């Protein structure tokens, strides 16, 4: 558990400072002392309780042990911090409640947070995903953009000044050297290195911008460079600039090129590497001109990564308890059509030999039956053929002629002993039978069912959307671009998070239906 107020040096006991002369009766104003949190070179941070509303607060007190010749300078920057942070109200900036002076005690009352500084998390080996890194830096960039709009430049962005709450929300801390409307004097900007760096008044060396390293005038783009250093460190696990001493480090910051993140860690996303490279440009004009621009690019990466995860999750088939995909429970319409066609063709192959054998038997029947077959009307042949083309249909036998017709035919023919030779009537029957066979084959060919027709529906969704047809998910567009649907009416739905778009269409084979929607 830490406070929003951080320190740059290891925490150590300052019991000798917490005594009645420093904090009379354990109070500062109405706030009741509870414990020390930590201390730095300038201030000491304590945990107090506000008895009026029962709220815990962090109180930063200017170290009373500072040398007298330095105290006045530090008091100026201490008050500067209160003024700078006190007028900022942003969810990612620590909130300042009050600032006052009680006797010789100068203090700032700030919100108390539970969590850890980013520097502590890194030293403990905490690993962030690339999505978490982008989200974290984008929020800090938004906080800096807000501060810049209110004329406040932080000037000391670094992991020690970024606090991560227990809920994962970042808070920008310590505006102690912030420049509110360029209120720092030229004398402050030309202090010697011992004062600048040893006291950390005008920036921590590793995170300084080239302008700071050259002691030149700075603007909001200096904070963007420092934030780029933090981003680079999170991506690569190391700082972009290194040297054996402070002068060498300042020269590297001002002049040396940065090693591309992919050369250090090959899996660093290219988009994040480009964002870091732009933020770390030596010339301010080549960097992001606004922190909000940097936040926008980081948010785009987060959104794209989120979309890709959703698509991957949707496209991965869900497994049921038996280990089979749910996709096997429902047969697509196109597969149903192919199955029906196969059944019809199989039935035709079974029925056709039966029809052929029946017609062949007519050829070998007695003369009276042959004559009857020859006298069957074309309508009867067609009806018989049609029934043969239907799977499972029974072929009707030719109706028997009356006895009178049979007698008249038989009496008209001379009786012969031995094998009979084909007569004109028999030839006529044979020809009629062949003709019937030809017609039957033609009817069978004509009656064969055609392949079930489907229509095409083109899908264009921006940026993405899950597509449903008649309540069933068909995938995500993109990459889904076309649907093959059975003919008839369908309901098409596209869903993007809580957004929903629905339309009713009628599919036909004449033209392709095109659907497009932007969420």
Q: Is 297 a catalytic residue?
A: no
Which residues pair with residue 503 across a beta bridge? Answer: 492
Q: In this predicted structure, what is the pLDDT of residue 396?
A: 42
Question: Model confidence over 340-367: pLDDT tens digits?
Answer: 555 555 556 555 565 556 555 555 444 3
> 97: pLDDT confidence band, cut at 50, 70 and 90?
confident
Question: Model confidence over 410-452: pLDDT tens digits?
Answer: 434 444 444 445 555 555 545 555 555 555 555 445 444 455 5
- Mean pLDDT computed over 366-370: 41
Whether residue 50 has pLDDT greater than 80: yes
Would you call 71 exposed, middle or buried from its count of C-beta atoms within 10 A (0-12, 13-18, 19+)? middle
Question: Are residues 62 and 107 in contact, defined by beta-carbon separation less than 8 angstroms?
Answer: yes
Please state, in angstroms and rounded to a whole number, the distance separating the CA atoms of residues 112 and 202. 25
- Phi-psi region at 180: left, alpha or beta (left = phi > 0; alpha = psi -120 to 50): beta
pTM of the model: 0.56
Average pLDDT of the chain is: 73
Which residues pair with residue 62 across a beta bridge? Answer: 43
SS3 (DSSP) at 137 = helix
Question: Are residues 292 and 140 in contact, defined by beta-carbon separation less than 8 angstroms?
Answer: no
What proportion of the chain, given as a percentage, has pLDDT over 90?
Answer: 32
Please state, in angstroms and rounded to a whole number, the distance separating the CA atoms of residues 235 and 237. 6
Higher-confidence residue: 37 or 159? 159
Q: In this predicted structure, what is the pLDDT of residue 263?
A: 93
In eight-state DSSP terms, residue 26 is G
Q: In this predicted structure, what is the pLDDT of residue 78?
A: 74
Question: Are residues 448 and 344 in contact, defined by beta-carbon separation less than 8 angstroms?
Answer: yes
Q: Which helix (H) or strand (E) holds 460?
A: strand 454-462
Question: Catalytic one among 166, 286, 470, 499?
Answer: 166
Please state, in angstroms and rounded to a whole number, the distance separating the CA atoms of residues 44 and 140. 25
Whether residue 233 has pLDDT greater than 90: yes
- Nearest 5°: the CA angle 478, 137, 93 is 130
Please state, in angstroms and rounded to a whole number, the distance separating the CA atoms of residues 397 and 400. 9
Q: In this predicted structure, what is the pLDDT of residue 356?
A: 56
Helix axes 424-447, 367-374, angle to 10 degrees: 50
Whether residue 40 has pLDDT greater than 80: no
What proportion of the chain, given as a percentage, has pLDDT over 70?
Answer: 63
Higher-confidence residue: 478 or 330? 478
Residues 6+ apart with CB under 8 A from 105: 22, 23, 28, 61, 62, 64
- β-pairing, 465-469 vs 152-153, is unpaired
Task: Tally Cβ neighbours within 10 Å of residue 268.
Answer: 19
Whether residue 21 has pLDDT greater than 80: no
Structural domains in the chain, CATH included, are 24-111 (3.30.200.20), 118-310 (1.10.510.10), 334-409+423-447 (no CATH), 452-518 (2.60.40.10)
Q: In this predicted structure, what is the pLDDT of residue 24?
A: 60
Q: What token pair was written down for 275?
A: 């964002």
Which of 13-27, 138-152, 494-508 is predicted with the least confidence, judged by mean pLDDT? 13-27
| Closest to 106 in 3D by CA, of 86, 81, 87 | 81
Q: In this predicted structure, what is the pLDDT of residue 14?
A: 33
Q: What token pair was written down for 408?
A: 């008249």
Higher-confidence residue: 476 or 287? 287
Whether residue 493 has pLDDT greater than 80: yes
CA atoms within 13 A on the CB side of 510: 3
- β-pairing, 465-469 vs 472-477, is antiparallel
Higher-confidence residue: 396 or 342? 342
Q: Which residue has the tokens 């800090």?
A: 140
- Phi-psi region at 25: left, alpha or beta (left = phi > 0; alpha = psi -120 to 50): left
Helix axes 220-236, 130-149, angle to 10 degrees: 170
Question: Are residues 254 and 209 in contact, defined by beta-carbon separation less than 8 angstroms?
Answer: no
Please state, in angstroms and rounded to a whole number, the distance separating the CA atoms of residues 311 and 476. 7
Please state, in angstroms and rounded to a whole number, the distance separating the CA atoms of residues 207 and 230. 8
> 65: pLDDT confidence band, cut at 50, 70 and 90?
confident
Q: Which helix (H) or strand (E) holds 336?
A: helix 333-363
């Amino acid at each position: 558990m830490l406070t929003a107020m951080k320190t740059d040096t290891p925490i150590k006991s300052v019991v000798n400072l917490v005594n009645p002369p420093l904090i009379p009766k354990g109070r500062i104003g109405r706030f009741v002392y509870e414990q020390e949190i930590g201390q730095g070179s300038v201030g000491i941070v304590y945990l107090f309780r506000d008895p009026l509303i029962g709220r815990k607060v962090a109180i930063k007190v200017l170290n009373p042990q500072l040398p007298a010749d330095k105290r006045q300078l530090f008091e100026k920057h201490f008050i500067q911090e209160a003024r700078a942070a006190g007028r900022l109200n942003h969810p990612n900036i620590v909130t300042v409640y009050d600032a006052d002076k009680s006797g010789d005690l100068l203090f700032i009352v700030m919100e108390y947070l539970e969590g850890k500084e980013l520097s502590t998390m890194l030293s403990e080996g905490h690993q962030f995903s690339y999505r978490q890194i982008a989200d974290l830096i984008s929020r800090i960039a938004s906080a800096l953009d807000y501060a810049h709009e209110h004329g406040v430049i932080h000037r000391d962005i670094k992991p020690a000044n970024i606090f991560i709450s227990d809920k994962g929300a970042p808070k920008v801390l310590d505006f102690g050297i912030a420049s509110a409307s360029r209120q720092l004097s030229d004398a402050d900007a030309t202090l010697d290195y011992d004062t600048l760096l040893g006291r950390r008044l005008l920036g921590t060396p590793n995170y300084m911008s080239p302008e700071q390293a050259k002691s030149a005038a700075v603007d909001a783009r200096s904070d963007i460079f420092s934030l780029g250093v933090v981003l680079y460190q999170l991506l690569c696990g190391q700082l972009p600039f290194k040297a054996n001493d402070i002068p060498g480090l300042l020269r590297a910051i001002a002049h040396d090129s940065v090693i591309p993140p992919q050369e250090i860690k090959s899996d660093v996303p290219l988009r994040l590497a480009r964002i870091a490279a732009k933020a770390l440009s030596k010339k301010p004009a080549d960097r992001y001109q606004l922190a909000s621009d940097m936040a926008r690019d980081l948010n785009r990466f987060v959104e794209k990564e989120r979309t890709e995860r959703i698509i991957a999750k949707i496209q991965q088939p869900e497994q049921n308890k038996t280990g089979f995909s749910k996709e096997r429970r429902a047969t697509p319409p196109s597969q149903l059509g192919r199955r029906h066609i196969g059944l019809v063709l199989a039935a035709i192959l079974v029925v056709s030999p039966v029809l052929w054998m029946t017609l062949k038997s007519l050829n070998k029947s007695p003369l009276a039956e042959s004559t009857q077959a020859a006298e069957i009307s074309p309508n009867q042949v067609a009806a018989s053929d049609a029934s043969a083309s239907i799977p499972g249909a029974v072929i009707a036998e030719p109706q028997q002629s009356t006895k009178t017709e049979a007698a008249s035919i038989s009496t008209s023919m001379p009786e012969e002993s031995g094998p009979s030779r084909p007569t004109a009537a028999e030839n006529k029957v044979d020809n009629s039978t062949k003709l019937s066979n030809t017609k039957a084959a033609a009817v069978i060919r004509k009656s064969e069912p055609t392949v079930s027709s489907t229509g095409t529906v083109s899908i264009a969704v921006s940026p993405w959307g899950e597509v449903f047809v008649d309540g069933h998910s068909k995938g995500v567009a993109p990459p889904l671009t076309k649907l093959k649907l059975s003919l008839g009416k369908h309901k098409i739905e596209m869903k993007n998070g809580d957004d929903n778009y629905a339309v009713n269409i009628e599919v036909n084979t004449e033209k392709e239906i095109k659907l497009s929607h932007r969420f």
